[in-house]
Amino acid sequence: MSKKVIALLNEARARELTAISQYLVQHYELEDQGFGKLGAVLKATGIVEMKHAEALAERILFLKGEPTTKPDATAKKGEDIAKMLKTDIGLEAAAVKMYNEAAQVCAAEQDQISKQLFEKLLADEEDHLNTFETTRDHLDELGAAYLATLVE
């Protein structure tokens, strides 16, 4: 199988590992600050990202590659909610861009299964991006009143 496809799968896995760390750090911080509702969203998103990382590893192994265990970045800590959302939107927007491009490469390499995997992940990442953008928009429009709704 294509070394190019395995490299893309590993790049995606490294991104997913970063997202897992980032969202779980934010989950813990938000829970500690009393923003349990938003923390729960980030925890659930982190769990979805774990499933993505696992699916990518399984595909890499099937293609006789070695799945990376290293995230592509370090989780940011201590951000306020607005900065957290900016970080998360950046992670998801980059994933959407990369997964769209990766699906095209997989098609060109005649690897339809990897292409379908990237397309499935892409749908989830677009959903995460929408969630984070909507939350940011509510925060921008409503400020502290919106934050009060996130307290559990």
Question: Which residues, including other chains, have CB under 8 Å from residue 137's CB and lie 6 or more apart?
Answer: none
CATH number at residue 28: 1.20.1260.10
The number of C-alpha atoms within 13 Å of 11 and in the hemisphere containing its C-beta is 14
Q: Domain range holding 133?
A: 3-149
Q: For 71-105, how does the pLDDT look when each residue is reduced to its tens digit (9 = 90+)?
A: 999 999 999 999 999 999 999 999 999 999 999 99
DSSP-assigned letter for residue 110:
T
Give the H or E element holding residue 76: none
pLDDT band for position 1 (50/70/90)? low
Q: How many domains does the chain have?
A: 1
Q: For 35-60, how does the pLDDT look when each residue is reduced to its tens digit (9 = 90+)?
A: 999 999 999 999 999 999 999 999 99
Burial code (b: 16+ CB inside 10 Å, e: under 16) for 29-58 equals: bbbeeebbebbebbbebbebbbebbebbbe
Q: In 63-111, which residue ranges form alpha helices assigned H by DSSP? A: 81-108
